[in-house]
Amino acid sequence: MSMPDTVGRVITYGEAIREALAEEMRRDSRVFILGEDVAEAGTPFKVLTGLVEEFGTDRVIDTPISEAGITGLSVGASMTGLRPVVDIMFGDFVTLVVDQVLQQASKIQGMYGKKIELPFILRTPMGGKRGYGPTHSQSLERLFFGIPHVQLLAINHRVRPDTVYQTLLVENTTATIILENKLDYSRQLTERRSVTHDYERTVDRFPTLCIRPKHAKPDVTVVCYGGTLHDCEAAAEELYLEQEVFVEVICPMLIQPLNVFPIIESLAQSHTLVMVEEGSNFAALGSEIIAQAVARSTPLTRVARIGNNVIIPACAPEELRLLPSKSKIKTEILNSLS
């Protein structure tokens, strides 16, 4: 079932993001967008198409190819009370903004002995499965793990992106990086839910989604985030129907800092973790979850990790074979129980 917006239309994720940004730009003159091709082309995924016609080139600003410069300018602008939204064309290029985030955005809020608001937002498409090859298909979010005063959001198809952006543009006071999955932009917002699982959310500002098997204690806890939720949901539903294997899927939206307690609570029942990540699983989110589980004496009988520690292939079919898939996740879940 498709999810209509407030006026009854069915819209895609990309459209929801664009309309949320437009609404907040109308409401608040301090909000502006800058990045490469945001005005002329609306970004490669056309998410921002049409905004320049309404708001002009002084608020939808095409910039030179300098991700570090764009980010540094925006950090400074946010210190003056403006509300910049930085567009980084592909998530692969966040390597060029790490210095500004780590050495400036993070430290400005923590080294002057007083509260400094920094309503800085950086949004970028992350992940693969579109055949863009080794330099445009990476998942590099782990570069930002452990940086204080920086929050990292990975939105997924169960999250209304317009609500996330409206919340941030009204309330945010902390440097924020938003990871959007490339495959979601053209997907319609959907209400369709699994017939085998119940859906619950924590009460956090950016809640964790807990997808629990109906009428059953979980045999396995699957933890994922962002675009990997699609395949994890499908795998959990199929295993329930086909083999009566009961999988609980935990999908945090805020992955830095991480509320680990919904994961710990699930693991206390299942004792088995399957961690699903698109990027490298060395020194990644799964590593921290396992460390925190062990530190809290959580009973873990089995741990399996789906990820990769190699360069993404230039060949599209090989890229698909490398990255997490429904079949890989099902196989790993079954292996963890054998």
Query: Where does 197-337 sit in CATH, by number?
Result: 3.40.50.920
Instruction: Give the pLDDT score at 8.
Output: 53
Measured between alpha carbons, how far is 192 from 154 in angstroms, rounded to an integer?
A: 20
Instruction: Give the pLDDT score at 2.
Output: 45
Query: Where does 13-184 sit in CATH, by number?
Result: 3.40.50.970
Give the DSSP H or E segment for 152.
strand 150-154
Q: Does the fold of domain 197-337 match that of domain 13-184?
A: yes
- Encoded tokens for 183: 């495959």
Q: Are the C-beta atoms of 156 and 226 separated by less than 8 Å?
A: yes
Give the DSSP H or E segment for 272.
strand 272-276
Report residues of the chain scoring pLDDT below 70.
1-9, 191
pLDDT tens, position by position, 104-143 = 999 998 788 888 999 999 999 999 999 999 999 999 999 9
Radius of gyration of the chain (CA): 20
Task: Find all residues with CB under 8 Å of 287, minimum gap 6, and list them.
Answer: 281
Measured between alpha carbons, how far is 60 from 53 in angstroms, rounded to an integer?
A: 9
Q: pTM of this prediction?
A: 0.94
Instruction: Give the pLDDT score at 1.
Output: 39
Task: Find all residues with CB under 8 Å of 187, minimum gap 6, and list them.
Answer: 12, 13, 157
What residue ranges do the domains of the chain occupy?
13-184, 197-337
Instruction: Give the pLDDT score at 44.
Output: 87
